[in-house]
Structures are given as C-alpha cells and as structure tokens.
Amino acid sequence: MEHLRFAAVPLLPLTFLLCVGMLLFLQSAQSRPISVPEVPAYHALDVASSLRETDTAAGVAEYKRETKPRRSPWSVEVVHRDALLLKNAANSTASYERRLKEKLRREAVRVRGLERQIERTLTLNKDPANRYENVAEVDADFGGEVVSGMEQGSGEYFTRIGVGTPTREQYMVLDTGSDVAWIQCEPCRECYSQADPIFNPSYSASFSTVGCDSAVCSQLDAYDCHSGGCLYEASYGDGSYSTGSFATETLTFGTTSVANVAIGCGHKNVGLFIGAAGLLGLGAGALSFPNQIGTQTGHTFSYCLVDRESDSSGPLQFGPESVPVGSIFTPLEKNPHLPTFYYLSVAAISVGGAILDSIPPEVFRIDETSGHGGFIIDSGTVVTRLVTSAYDAVRDAFVAGTGKLPRTDAVSIFDTCYDLSGLQFVSVPTVGFHFSNGASLILPAKNYLIPMDTVGTFCFAFAPAASSVSIMGNTQQQHIRVSFDSANSLVGFAFDQC
C-alpha cells in the first residue's frame, strides 16, 4: 500500500483525512479478496494411522478423569461419548462402522434441530407476544409432549463436574449451542437412565429455588410460575427436552467451587445420551455458565476436543490462563437476533492454497435485518456444513486436487469418497478458513478426510447446509485448542495445546 503524504496540511484536515483513510481501509479489508501466499498446497494424510484408530473398540477401558494432570483450578476433562464405558450402553461393543453410522444420524438430527431452533427464534423475534405460548401448561405437567430424542442420543462430548453441597459428581453434555445448564432431579416425573444416581436437591445445603419474579427467571427463553417458583423449559430440535424448577446451586470444576449458579432442576426429561445427568450450556447468552462466572474468569474459556476414536481426554478450562500463547485470533461476530451462538468472521475458504473466488464474502455474513446467515462454530455438530453454493465450490476444488486418488461410492451424507485401501500416505489439498482480520486456520488433513470403515474408505468430511447458516463442526475442531474471549469478542485457535 502506498504511504499517504500530509506535508503542510493543517491539523483539522489531517485528522479528517486520517479518519477517511481508516474508513476506506476497513471497507476495503471487508470487500477485497484475501491473499494467502504462505498456505501450503498439499498435506500428507497418514492413511495407515487413521485406519489403526478405527480398530480400537469403543469402551475397552473406562474413562478415568484422575489419570490426567490438573491444568488449573478451573479445569476439567472432556471426553467423547464413545469413550465412556457406561452400564447398558448399546455402543460399548459396536463396530466402528456402526458407531459412525449412529454418529452421522445424530449429526443429521442435530443440524435439523439447530436450523429449526434458529428459524423459530427469528420468527418469535418478529412477534414477541407469542414467545411463551407453548409454556402455558408447564405449571401442570412440566412441559408438553415432544417427540422423544432417546433414539437419537444427543451429545457428543462430556465432562464430569460436582453438583451441590456436599458435591456429587455427574457427567454433563457440553454444548456451545445452548445456554441453560440443567440436571435431572428427584422427584422424577420422567427421567432417562444415567450413570450416576439422580441428583436429589433435598440433600444439598446449597440448593435454592429461584422466585418467579426474579431477574434471572425473566432471562429464560421459556418459563412459567408455580407457587411463586420459576419453572423452566429447555427444548432442543432433536426432540430432547428438560422441564422443572429453576434454581441456584454450587457447581465444582476441578478444585474450584462456584456458588449460586443458575441451573435447571429437571423433573421431566426426555432424550440426551443415556448416562449423562444433564447439559452444561456454554453458549454466548446471558444464562450460559461462562457468562454467569464471567466476572471471575474474565469471560474466557477454552476446550480441546479429542479424536473421534480416542479414549483419552482433553481440557475444558476457564479463565485467562485457558487461552494458549500463540493462538490464532479472529473476531467473534454478534447476531443480536440469536445471542446464544458464536459466529465466526469467515471471509473466504481456500483449497490447495488458493482462495476460492467463486465464494463471495457475503455468503457467510449475518443479515443484520433478518438475523439469517452467518457462520457458527458448534461443539455438538459433527461435520462442517456450508451453504450449498460454498460447499459445491469447496468440494469441486478438492476433487480437482485429488484427481489421482481412486474414487468410490458416496457414504451417508458424504458425496466425495475415496478407496485408499493398501496405501500408507496420500497427498491431499489443504483446506483453510480465512477471516476478516486476515488470520487463517489451515486444517490438518485428518480433520477433513476421515475413514468410513476399517478397510480404507475415506470421505471428505464437509456437507451442504439446508439453510443460510454455515456451521463449523467438531470434526474440524479436533486436536485444536479453541478459545472464546467474550470480553474482547475474540475466538482463538491453537495447535498442539491439548
């Protein structure tokens, strides 16, 4: 860029010109193509190593949290659901192919659920008077009839935290796509099977119900009153739901206990992965756990998601020390219509080191008027979904760069698959996300070309979205430390920090 010269220009015009120059720079940064001269064109995929991981049977060893060193007083461990050895778990001895099939079924349900949730919220925003029309009977029956999510088995990643005083440890589903934390509670009108005894609030000295006229009750998306107490309803697009009393309780993470956390005490619960006691909402909304403890942790947290077939664990950590030095930072976008979700400022995608000019930057932008569009990062979605035009461009470029690899039939939601049986290593085009501030995230090859079976069928792990919203899934996030700094509206990515 040429340097501007301001010799012999009075002070006021100088200030004016500097402001105009900065505005022009910001505008051009948003509209012009991004160059990525240092992005490698190809990655090596270790086919043999990926296939060895598929031979590891799920549930061979029980996940033991104490085998991992504590990272900080605000740290707990995260494990994939397939690594848990849970009583009566149907997938404990299932083959890799069966577990993958079930995972992709959950994926499809999750994505449809998110899309329905987004559309429903945007519709209600247009007509706020109808926001609570479906909770009129929560007083009498703790929620209406919802299609059971038990068969879908929501939730991909879990952690174990302490609940109450004295503390009782419980497995919890982690979800960056929701805000309200809740656990199953006695007395149960309807509860699913879980690994630990169901929490009984009468045994906890720190449990306290929330009044219906409290500010925290009014922050719920769906609530009602019963005998002066606040009732909540948390429903999910996959058919899972929880309804019951809204309360405050002490939660324990590692060696740190946090008092007066607003959580749901679910007396009627359907769905979620059999074994988990409830859900820990890590979303961007006011009632999410990170925001409730934000004054103590600087509104920062991070996680690292382990491999799909790993029986190891990664960290979920809160506080400024959770953000690794050397992280790649990019702005978090805000969608006032949908405050729960974390939106990435994706401006371009590259394949084989080249920016795809056929994908205009506005494809991933949030429509400020309607709230549609944008690019969400989500812990519960399995594979990245791109709006159809962007997906087609990415897939076509990847296919063009893998012309020498033998193709095979489509598998499930994946239309681009290869027969890599008998091969040790293959070269595949790099895939990268490029953000509005010029930062780039170049994915490891194993995060986008994944095995479908134990013999060598691999597929390109992206899929088209059925709506205007794109989603970065957890397959693309694996073994990357993902940090959220809500105070500064930043998201960070760091390799080799798990």
Which residues are designated catalytic?
175, 378
Q: How far is Cα 148 from Cα 64, in angstroms, rounded to an integer?
A: 31
Residue 414 has phi, psi (to 5 degrees) of -100, 125
In the structure encoding, which two tokens stand for residue 88, read together?
Answer: 């009566």
SS3 480: strand
Among the listed residues 385, 362, 304, 345, the one whose alpha carbon sits nearest the alpha carbon of residue 114: 385
Task: Give the helix/strand (H/E) hosting 201.
Answer: none
Instruction: Please say whether the beta carbons of 459 and 104 come within 8 A.
Output: no
Neighbours of 422 (CB within 10 A): 9
Whether residue 166 has a cis bond before it, omega within 30° of 0 = yes
Strand partners, 257: 252
The residue with tokens 């149907």 is 90
Query: What is residue 246's three-state secondary structure?
Result: strand
Task: Give the span between the Cα atoms of 1 and 70, in whole angstroms.
Answer: 48
CB-side exposure of 137: number of CA atoms within 13 Å?
5
Strand, coil or helix: 456: coil
- Contact 327/492 with Cβ under 8 angstroms? yes
254: left (phi over 0), alpha (psi -120 to 50) or beta: left
Helix (H) or strand (E) holding 182: strand 182-184
Both tokens of 159, joined, read 């952690």
Cα–chain-centroid distance for residue 462? Answer: 16
- Type of residue numbered 431: V
| Residue 22: CB atoms within 10 Å | 10
Task: Please give the Cα distance from 262 to 217 (Å, whole number).
Answer: 9
Tell me the β-bridge partners of 484. 301, 491
Looking at this protein, which amino acid is placed at residue 331?
A: P
343, 376 Cβ separation under 8 angstroms: yes
Q: How far apart are CA 114 and CA 281, in angstroms?
A: 15
Contact 309, 56 (CB under 8 A): yes
